Structure 1
């Protein structure tokens, strides 16, 4: 007569009684927190047939019962209740779960099996979306294309995250994201194993779906991650991998900003204006301007510290502890709470100019970083005790002074009716050395040739329509070379080109030629600025000493093709 098994199989557990007795292996255990139930200690149990069920010990029973929970060991559990399994991320397919009570008894059991019952899912099932999104899955794959580790704000706490891909034996790629300690684990192995074959096993992973992309990630501490585990399944998987030599690689970080061509294409709908036209605008709009940066206004700070989660400025304050000591804290007004996850952001106030006038621009972090070339976090230390004290302007930020950019600028009601002379930048459209001339407003104060004389320097303008015969020679000659050509004194007897002298017998020795039709000369905005100002009889001093150009008197002459410098 066969002996009756005193243990109930997991698949037969039902809620109608509590006098159950099971013999199970504890596969995994972790702390779990839910808003409704609070903290509990969860376990993953499996019987000798490989059937699994989740069990939980409430916080009030932990002190008594947690010591009996030994991961990887077999145990006998008696007297517990069975309730319906629910929730977004269920670790088994069993319709019920076990609730451990204060009366529940644990006792030792001999080892029945060393199996871990993986129940691996196919990548195609994950990517196609045919799996139940509320249930956790086990996946195995070759680790490829690992990204850089990131630090993100999660419920007010800085948390690490890493993105990577797993590939299967059919070369399907599954996007993965791991958080917290698992991100550190993948980051460490990726640095140590570049160029090698790394197999990754993720147990009880959460299925994700965002913007038509299906992926997996860890379900808090319910998940487990194993790198190159010694298992029969792993060896079989490695033997089936394509023999293409693909090894672990580090992915380049994703660009934070849209490509320049995308921004420029989107900006075509907006009109381009000069600064004078910008200041004369009387309607709310966005316009494009090309301008040179004169200075950075340091009456304002060039940076601020922001709460990572909501991206708003934080304020520093001091909190007195019970011991009497003072602790530095940061307060976010939007969240109305004290925060610890902060980082530095750019915030620039710029003085700008073109040949029609001067104005001011304000740029926030996302527009400054593309032209600076590095994030503010690399230039500032958040742990600095002197967070309220302005930090010196770094050279890498100073380098934008004197350079020419194209911006998409917002004309707002504050600028029109409330006297605000500072405009917000909505987009950075080009970087330095743009291949367009600064816009010139020819309708204002035309040049009066008779009122201009020469003193120390001559600024000559040439026009391609009148110098066809010499365009190939003159327009392709570098500016420094053209200066030497004119300075050699040749062709001084030309009747169409007057000698520029302070007195009738004094010869000018410093001549600069600017070709208005030659794009190579368009990146010299200082000459256009000075020419326009001289034409209006209102020569101004350039604000920055290192860019100061002294032009006492300027003579403008037309050079025809026949008498152009050879």
Structure 2
């Protein structure tokens, strides 16, 4: 008489004794967070004859007992578990209930399987790209041929652990393509198979991956230890896929090509590639979706105090360091200690175009590109008593720049008025070719001479030239006007205030802007000439 087995779908907390016949469709080890050489637990995904799946775990005390017995894609009978309820949270997207091994658990290997293995639950590329919504806990399997790769990158996680990242491009049988990001040991596993001269198709199955959507593009990525890459696996699904690929005809060139990541492109390359549309600042302030966008604007203000234009960073991972350990700094992210921290730019500026103004945060690479010198080289520049930052940063003033912004949810919801800059381009030819159409027709300043209005019209800033009929304040003086804001955050979308040179002293003290060193010196010089 054939023994009766329970179905995974029947699992609940009311019964103490369960008897299953299942395949192990995924098994892996979780390492101790205190000692990476020690296995903390064995994690598994089990599947019965109905295709239902459940999560199972072997605690540390039993790891040594079960490690040599449990193997992936093998069938077992299993009895006596402790059932744990994760309430409404599914364990790794697999199941609400977890079967936990105990000292009473019994496992027997089934030499002759009684039902077929259904190891994967494939999702098509088109299905993933068209899906209206995919949750963070939703995981799935995909199959494809590797047709492209990027260069592997070294990373340091938020917990200070060193790891790797690699992007490969997969192609399905209908020539649809999907970007797939691998992390950690999966990178080391696949890299030896990615030779550029390879002529045989490399078929991979990405098991228990999750979807990622950014800026309207869909990709997949590994999800910690549960994810696995199967390379040229000898299973029916893989063999069928490979046969279809080979039957399409032999490839006369290498099957895996190198592709450059958009992150590797310079700003000019990205703009010349034609994959971006530059927005006006007004349009940028009104975007309703997170993601990268490009804008064009002129830097009209620098918001930086004496120590507000840089930060001290770890020399290994570039994370900000604050707490000294004796005379040394210790990085809280990667744990590296060193005698002297690196100095890196972190500068807040205001950019303006004919439509609006916007507050931007420039990091080290972008600031260095715009001002021409690294932060450490200008740290010791002598400052006048009323100077707020080194003179070198003034090299950015009045520069017309294309900015690539990272629009965050806080920007969209107007919680944070400062937009982070990802890339900059100050090449004049590239800028002129990529200006928004609404700015192309208005990229020159006009002098208004109607009536008695002797004003020079600068977008967002109007400077009155009539100062007690003093003809010495000429157009040359106005053309050098630059503004610096006090060391405080400026409201998003607020244009630089109108400055009238007839303001009395009280009004000037209440102004949110003041003249730069260059204008002040020029005014003093011209006043001296008048007095003489």
TM-score (ref. length: structure 1): 0.50
1:258 matches 2:261: no
Deviates more, 1:215-224 or 1:203-212: 203-212
Taking the aligned partners of 1:66 and 1:187, their CA distance within structure 2 comes to 27
Taking the aligned partners of 2:388 and 2:215, their CA distance within structure 1 comes to 43
Structure-1 residue corresponding to 2:108? 107
Once the 2 structures are TM-superposed, how far is the Cα of residue 7 of structure 1 from its aligned partner? 2.3
**Distance 1:254-1:165 versus aligned 2 partners, 3 A rule:** same
- Aligned residue-pair number: 348
Listed as ranges, the matches of 1:114-513 within 5 Å are: 115-130=117-132, 132-133=134-135, 134-154=137-157, 155-191=159-195, 194=198, 196-241=200-245, 245=251, 247-256=255-264, 257-259=266-268, 269-270=298-299, 284-285=301-302, 306=314, 311-312=319-320, 331-332=330-331, 335=332, 338-339=335-336, 364-368=364-368, 417-418=386-387, 420-424=389-393, 430=426
Once the 2 structures are TM-superposed, how far is the Cα of residue 225 of structure 1 from its aligned partner? 0.5
Structure-2 residue corresponding to 1:22? 20
SS at match of 2:150: coil
On the 8 A contact 1:415/1:422 being kept in 2, the answer is no
Once the 2 structures are TM-superposed, how far is the Cα of residue 10 of structure 1 from its aligned partner? 2.8
**Distance 1:132-1:79 versus aligned 2 partners, 3 A rule:** farther
Please provide the CA RMSD for this pair. 4.9
Taking the aligned partners of 1:340 and 1:129, their CA distance within structure 2 comes to 47
SS at match of 2:122: coil
**Distance 1:315-1:270 versus aligned 2 partners, 3 A rule:** closer
On the 8 A contact 1:147/1:253 being kept in 2, the answer is yes
TM-score (ref. length: structure 2): 0.53
Structure 2 gap ranges (5+): 34-38, 272-277, 281-293, 304-310, 346-361, 378-382, 402-423, 431-473, 478-532
Structure-1 residue corresponding to 2:41? 40
Once the 2 structures are TM-superposed, how far is the Cα of residue 28 of structure 1 from its aligned partner? 2.6
Structure 1 gap ranges (5+): 272-283, 287-302, 320-328, 349-361, 377-389, 394-413, 435-440, 445-566
Q: Please say which structure displays the higher CA radius of gyration.
A: 1
Structure-2 residue corresponding to 1:464? none
Listed as ranges, the matches of 1:63-102 within 5 Å are: 63-84=64-85, 87=89, 90=92, 92=94, 94-102=95-103
Taking the aligned partners of 2:388 and 2:209, their CA distance within structure 1 comes to 57
**Distance 1:364-1:119 versus aligned 2 partners, 3 A rule:** closer
Taking the aligned partners of 1:207 and 1:10, their CA distance within structure 2 comes to 27
After superposition, give the CA deviation of every residue in 1:511-555 in whole Å (9 maximum; x if it has no partner). Answer: xxxxxxxxxxxxxxxxxxxxxxxxxxxxxxxxxxxxxxxxxxxxx
After superposition, give the CA deviation of every residue in 1:466-493 in whole Å (9 maximum; x if it has no partner). Answer: xxxxxxxxxxxxxxxxxxxxxxxxxxxx
Structure-1 residue corresponding to 2:56? 55
On the 8 A contact 1:121/1:138 being kept in 2, the answer is yes
Taking the aligned partners of 2:107 and 2:49, their CA distance within structure 1 comes to 18
Taking the aligned partners of 2:130 and 2:476, their CA distance within structure 1 comes to 64
Once the 2 structures are TM-superposed, how far is the Cα of residue 161 of structure 1 from its aligned partner? 0.3
Once the 2 structures are TM-superposed, how far is the Cα of residue 125 of structure 1 from its aligned partner? 1.9
**Distance 1:206-1:87 versus aligned 2 partners, 3 A rule:** farther
